[in-house]
Amino acid sequence: MTTVSLDDVRAAHDLLSTVAVATPLVPSRVLSEQIGGPVLLKCENLQRTGSFKIRGAYVRIAGLSPRERAGGVVAASAGNHAQGVALAASMLGCKATVFMPVGAPLPKIAATRGYGAEIVFPGPTVDDCLLAAQEYADECGAVFIHPFDHPDVVAGQATIGLEIMEQCPDARTIVVPVGGGGLLAGIAAAAKGLVKEAGGGQEIKLIGAQAKRAAAFPASLAAGRPTQIELEPTMADGIAVGRPGDLTYAMFTELVDAVVTVTEESISQALLLCLERAKQVVEPAGAAGVAALLEHAYAVEPPVVVLLSGGNIDPLLLSKVLRHGLAGAGRYLVVRCRLKDRPGALVTLLGELAELGVNVLDVMHERVAARLHVEEAEVLMHLETRGADHSEDVIGRLREKGYTLTLS
């Protein structure tokens, strides 16, 4: 049995009635066309603090005794849980100390400080922060607010499941980004609890989406127990967790139907799709569910609800990820082109590109290098095209005209 019941979730929902926003469910025409049925986006990127985390943090801290609150709370987070804990603690009148990874996004750091928390940077990963935060809690007597592996936190996140089932009663699949698992465990408890309470006539499938470079759940489910994995760098820092929680793992084995992994390319294309087509700003971790639809459309049955779990993205990272997504969609090219080193050669090349309808974003012209012959020059160009077919046509036409090209 799970340790988070439908009654727990309803109690959390009542507690959060004046704290959390009931976020909208927005239809996505482009995703609906891709899978052949309705797809709706649950926009927790529009939640207070920019992610779902305020829900679980508030429920957990609200459940502390006055004496526990007086001793303060401590948390570990790449940014979203940090903001949730900081805001919840300030609303409930207790001190918050948050351990964040070195290199955490600057807007998340600034927002966490803005909510009144003290920040410590113990190491490069969330797992480093978890260890340091637990040590701090033991030494100072503060209450450790785990980002996912506590029944109160799971119950708080589960309130999203109540909202989804109220907003889309006929949902057949819910796709959720997964890090440590508290979000999906809670949503699964709520959704399947409601289905069971109604008599079990409706089938509903819960699918988790993990970054391929930080996929602890597939390894753990295969091993039959929570298993620590070595993380690889991923743009989806918010779901880069090396080991599932004991509680969340147990709930997954009972309630979650599948966990799929998504590549960095799919995440960047999903983020681009959210921005361009759904007009939603999301962070890479928040777009993992959309990436799962792009890679694993066969695994879902409509109507599908996809959770956008957070929108706290550094503008500098956003610009990089968008370029990555444009490149993946064939709309952004980085090309090296060899030319004869003579007057007018570069102008001629740029004229050819203009005739082909290419937007030249950047040009670097090099005339002296060991790899070049005396009569050669090389141009590094960043190009914007209308898509993959246009890109192929541009490359083919330039090669037909005798240009030597290398794609970067």
Catalytic, 309? Answer yes
Q: Is 401 helix (H, G, I), strand (E, B) or coil?
A: coil
Q: How many CB atoms lie within 10 A of CB 218?
A: 17
Please state, in angstroms and rounded to a whole number, the distance separating the CA atoms of residues 210 and 284. 11
Handedness of CA 385, 387, 389, 395 (dihedral sign): positive
CA distances from 100 to 88, 154, 155, 183, 289 (A): 17, 21, 24, 20, 24
Q: Which residues contact 125 (CB under 8 A, 6 or more apart)?
A: 101, 231, 240, 242
The enclosing H or E element of 6 equals: helix 6-15
The enclosing H or E element of 273 equals: helix 264-276
Please state, in angstroms and rounded to a whole number, the distance separating the CA atoms of residues 175 and 234. 20
Residue 32 carries which side chain, given as an amino acid letter?
A: S
Of the residues 51, 77, 220, 309, which is catalytic? 309
The distance in angstroms from the start CA to the end CA of the chain is 53
Catalytic, 279? Answer no
Q: Is 365 helix (H, G, I), strand (E, B) or coil?
A: strand
Cite the DSSP H helix spans in 115-205.
Answer: 126-140, 151-167, 182-197
Of the residues 53, 192, 205, 212, which is catalytic? 53
State the catalytic residues: 53, 309
